[in-house]
């Protein structure tokens, strides 16, 4: 049976997902068979496994860090918010139902057998499983039915490292307050503390580490420096969505604006675009912010009809139509693709029910069905006419996560185009240098830019470099003798 280690945090956003990925990468580099595990995740950034199951995008990243193929066993419960109190509940990679938070809370313990079965399958393949908690382990009103933090640690008999985020301040209070709110039995499980995202000279913090011993006898595993990393993260606390990412500046050659939908999902599709010299990418929540954009992207969403109504009510719909009429490039991904069509119908209330007229910029009609389309895709773009013609014949790979099917010209699938507007269901279509380079060249040609398109790195290659960079940071900043001793190796 595999040994294990669990990473918990004092709150959301302390960096549990990235710490877990980094520890997995170091263990993998050291020759161990390792696997990630998160029993319950709430996220709109998701991924489709090779066998057509849906898991949190963070667990897919962690699988890559571990050198493993992602599987639904790594994330047996995924909650995808559809509103303030409702989420789609996904069990073992497949949708179960749309549930109110109260209803899910009442019955979530009934999914413990699914959690244990998934963990046991992983344990047969791995030497070590690194488990990620969620939020805080001391939400005292939720403790009774906990299946993701200390409740899970007890079920799996896992030792725990508790991480705190020093960046906003108050990290000692975070750590001590969390430890004090744990029961004595739970405190005994905590074998080490981690301070994450430290900026500056660590020697100035060391007196505080010594003074902390007077309040808590749990040793520090280490202080992890604040490190700029370009890795997928949990969407609820993402810095990317704070509408300040690489805003237009004097060196901007191409300006890309992503519409910040209320239920935006899988914005990891655009990570590769953030790292290209001369490309400015920002998430915008006001129609006037689209002015002067070279490319407007309508991203995926967990609530297509709701976000389509919001596009109209907010004025985005009229602005996007105006830009399309002026030949600004418009691209819709997944739900954004559906919105660009003529209409969207949801007869079976797969989301919120009803129907809504689309922006009518693409000749497609979408009807939601009860079943969800989950599949990885490897395809060749058909013979595309017009401005997007250079994309014809290019290979694309990625995955689809959507309700319903859309009519349209199958000859050009997996894309549909009309003038300067393009739609596709494929998440990850920008992940290859070939496709993204060709798209930028199309924009360059329209703008009359004669300089070459910058060199672009494939998303997978870039991710591997970032994971190794993370591993290097953790090797230097954490006490690996303590980590291995805690795991039992």
CA gap 248, 269 in Å, rounded: 20
DSSP code of 414?
Answer: T
Write the DSSP string, 291-333.
TT-SEEEE-EES-HHHHHHHHHHHTHHHHHHHHHHTT-EEEEE
Q: What's the CA angle centered on 68, arms 65 and 71, to 5 degrees?
A: 110
CA gap 206, 222 in Å, rounded: 11
62's enclosing H/E stretch is helix 57-66
| Number of CB atoms found within 10 A of residue 426's CB | 25
Q: Is 402 left (phi over 0), alpha (psi -120 to 50) or beta?
A: beta
Structure tokens at 452: 């070459």
412's enclosing H/E stretch is none
Beta pairing class for 128-132 and 160-165: unpaired
216 catalytic? Reply is: no
Active-site residue identified among 28, 402, 427, 462: 427
Return the exposure string of 154-189: e unless at least 16 CB atoms fall within 10 Å of the residue's CB, then b: eebebbbbbbbbbeeeebbebbbebbeebeeebbeb
CA gap 194, 225 in Å, rounded: 11
SS3 of the chain: helix, strand, coil, percent, to 5: 40, 30, 35
| Phi and psi torsions of 451, nearest 5° | -70, 155
Which residue has 């329209």 as its token pair?
446
User: Which parts of 347-392 are beta strand (E)?
Assistant: 354-357, 365-380
| Phi and psi torsions of 64, nearest 5° | -60, -40
| Number of CB atoms found within 10 A of residue 138's CB | 20
CA 296 from centroid of its chain's CA atoms = 21
| Number of CB atoms found within 10 A of residue 127's CB | 16
| Number of CB atoms found within 10 A of residue 439's CB | 24
- Per the CB < 8 A criterion, the answer to whether 351 and 368 are in contact is yes
| Number of CB atoms found within 10 A of residue 414's CB | 19
Active-site residue identified among 334, 349, 402, 462: 334
- Per the CB < 8 A criterion, the answer to whether 438 and 394 are in contact is yes
402 catalytic? Reply is: no
CA gap 399, 57 in Å, rounded: 12
Positions marked active-site = 334, 427
């Amino acid at each position: 049976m595999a040994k294990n280690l669990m990473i918990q945090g004092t709150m959301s956003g302390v960096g549990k997902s990235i710490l877990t990925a980094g520890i997995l990468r170091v263990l993998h580099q050291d020759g161990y068979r390792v696997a990630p595990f998160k029993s319950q995740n709430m996220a709109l950034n998701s991924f489709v496994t090779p066998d057509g199951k849906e898991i949190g995008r963070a667990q897919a990243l962690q699988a890559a860090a571990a050198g493993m193929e992602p599987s639904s066993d790594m994330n047996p419960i995924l909650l995808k918010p559809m509103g303030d109190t409702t989420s789609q509940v996904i069990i073992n990679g497949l949708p179960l139902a749309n549930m109110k938070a109260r209803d899910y809370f009442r019955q979530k313990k009934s999914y413990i057998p699914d959690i244990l079965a998934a963990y046991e399958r992983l344990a047969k393949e791995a030497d070590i499983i690194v488990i990620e908690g969620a939020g805080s382990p001391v939400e005292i009103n939720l403790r009774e039915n906990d299946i993701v933090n200390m409740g899970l640690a007890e079920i799996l008999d896992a030792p725990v490292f508790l991480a705190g985020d020093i960046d906003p301040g108050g990290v000692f209070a975070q750590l001590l307050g969390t430890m004090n709110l744990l029961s004595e039995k739970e405190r005994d499980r905590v074998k080490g503390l981690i301070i994450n995202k430290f900026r500056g000279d660590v020697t100035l913090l060391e007196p505080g580490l010594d003074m902390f011993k007077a309040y808590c006898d749990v040793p520090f595993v280490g202080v992890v420096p604040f490190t700029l990393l370009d890795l997928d993260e949990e969407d609820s606390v993402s810095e990317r969505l704070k509408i300040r990412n690489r805003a237009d500046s004097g060196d901007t050659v191409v300006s890309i604006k992503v519409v910040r939908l209320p239920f935006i999902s899988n914005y990891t599709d655009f990570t590769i675009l953030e790292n290209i010299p001369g490309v400015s990418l920002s998430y915008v929540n006001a129609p006037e912010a689209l002015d002067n954009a070279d490319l407007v992207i309508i991203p995926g969403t967990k609530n297509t009809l709701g976000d389509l109504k919001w596009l109209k009510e907010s004025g985005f719909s009229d602005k996007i139509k105006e830009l399309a009429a002026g030949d600004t490039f418009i691209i819709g991904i997944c739900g954004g693709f559906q919105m660009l069509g003529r209409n969207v119908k949801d007869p079976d209330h797969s989301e919120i029910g009803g129907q809504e007229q689309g922006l009518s910029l693409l000749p497609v009609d979408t009807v939601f069905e009860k079943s969800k389309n989950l599949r990885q895709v490897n395809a060749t773009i058909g013979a595309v006419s017009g401005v997007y013609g250079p994309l014809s014949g290019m290979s694309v790979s990625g995955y689809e996560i959507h309700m319903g099917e859309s009519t349209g010209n199958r000859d050009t699938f997996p894309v549909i185009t009309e003038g300067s507007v393009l739609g596709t269901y494929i998440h990850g279509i920008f992940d290859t240098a070939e496709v993204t380079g060709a798209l930028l060249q199309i924009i360059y040609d329209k703008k009359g830019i004669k300089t070459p398109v910058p060199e672009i790195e494939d998303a997978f290659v870039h991710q591997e470099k970032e994971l190794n960079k993370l591993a290097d940071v953790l090797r230097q900043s954490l006490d690996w003798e303590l980590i291995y001793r805690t795991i039992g190796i």
